[in-house]
Amino acid sequence: MPSWIPPLPGLTRYTWWGAVPEGLLTKTQLARQGLKPGSDPVGQALYHGNCYAPLYEVDAAVPKRGCSPAQRAVLDRARELQYVCRRCGVREDEPLGKGRYCDRGCRYAMTMWEQHDQAQALARELVADPAAVLLVVDVERDALPSAQSVAVVGVRDHQVLYTAQAGEYGTPERGEVLDQLDALLADRRVVEEPDHMGPSSRYPHRLISQPGQPLQSGPDPQHPWAAPHSNVYPSVACIWSAWFAWPDCPYSTVPSVPREGAVVPWSRSLDVAEDGRSMATLLHRIADGTAPVWERAAWRLDGHGIPATPSSRRTAEVA
């Protein structure tokens, strides 16, 4: 309950209920008599600290519209379904709340599936956007200068828009690369490769960071495309991990990129332009639903699958 509801200007204020004239009631009081206000409020009463309730004339009130038997049946059915899991059909003793999923695995499964579904929706947006590009960087600190490179690849058409050796930090060669990227990436939707877990040598922000120094959070004002840890721009790793639906520990609701020697489904090589094409292909496969999903994804294990929801119906229609 709010601690303060200001008084309405221009209306008489009654600071205790005994002062309210007969024939004036609040909305709640009218509703108990099967009525609703038929005119504007004519006064207001102070209640619960500093809250004012508008008062209405009983003589001007009108009957509340009643429900037909069919409408009542629909309302009763909706009230009944509040206790029934939409996915597995089990009945609980308490209302299930938003989403209407039980805690016997269904809420977890649907949380993972919703992230999977959102990843596909984002991939479809990127594939359809002619201005979306992949910014692929490899500036391993101990690598030879010839192995440090950058590429920009179109998501929709896989076209290599720019590729160059990155040069060393602080050199004119690196400055020229930054100038080219500033011009090319202006007004474009930039997609990075890594998520917050790295590898750090492939963060675009590494191009403007001194080797060995920690990354600063937030985009750089001079180079807005350089936003570390995918705080601003989507990343291929985040989109794919949500689609693949592998958690790094049981019942974690945060999809992760598998570790312990697992191979990601796109190339990581010295040819960053080809890596960009590989990532674009993966985004297309996620968009059209042909990219593999972890065989033990939560919604696949118990046989209940995915209930009919607006989101799942949209996915089926597009597919």
For residues 59 and 159, membership in a common domain is answered with: no
Report if residue 226 sits inside a domain. yes
- Sheet with 149-154, strands from edge to edge, namely 160-165, 149-154, 132-138, 189-191
Strands 132-138 and 189-191: parallel
For residues 53 and 73, membership in a common domain is answered with: no
Give the chain's domain count: 3
For residues 115 and 230, membership in a common domain is answered with: yes
Q: Which residue has the tokens 């202006």?
A: 186
Spell out the residues 6+ positions from residue 303 whose beta carbon is closer than 8 angstroms to its own: none
For residues 127 and 229, membership in a common domain is answered with: yes
For residues 122 and 95, membership in a common domain is answered with: no
What does each of the 319 residues of the chain score in pLDDT, given as a tens digit?
A: 456 788 889 999 999 999 999 999 999 999 999 999 999 999 999 987 788 999 999 999 999 887 888 998 999 999 999 999 999 999 998 999 888 999 989 999 999 999 999 999 999 999 999 999 999 999 876 666 666 899 999 999 999 999 999 988 889 999 999 999 999 999 999 999 988 777 888 888 889 888 777 766 666 778 888 876 555 689 999 999 999 999 988 889 999 988 765 678 999 998 999 999 999 999 999 999 999 999 999 999 888 888 875 555 555 444 4
Report if residue 215 sits inside a domain. yes
For residues 80 and 52, membership in a common domain is answered with: no
For residues 44 and 113, membership in a common domain is answered with: no
Contact 47, 4 (CB under 8 A): no
Strands 160-165 and 149-154: antiparallel
* Whether this model's pTM surpasses 0.85: no
Spell out the residues 6+ positions from residue 32 whose beta carbon is closer than 8 angstroms to its own: none
Strands 12-14 and 43-47: parallel
CA distance 13 to 70: 43
Q: Where in the sequence is the domain holding 174, given as residue range(s)?
A: 107-307
For residues 90 and 37, membership in a common domain is answered with: no
For residues 148 and 214, membership in a common domain is answered with: yes
For residues 245 and 168, membership in a common domain is answered with: yes
Report if residue 248 sits inside a domain. yes
CA distance 272 to 39: 70
CA angle 21, 23, 24 (to 5 degrees): 70
Q: Report the 10 Å Cβ neighbour count for 48.
A: 12
Cis peptide before 199 (omega within 30 of 0): yes
CA distance 68 to 109: 38
Report if residue 92 sits inside a domain. yes
For residues 236 and 169, membership in a common domain is answered with: yes
Report if residue 316 sits inside a domain. no
For residues 169 and 137, membership in a common domain is answered with: yes
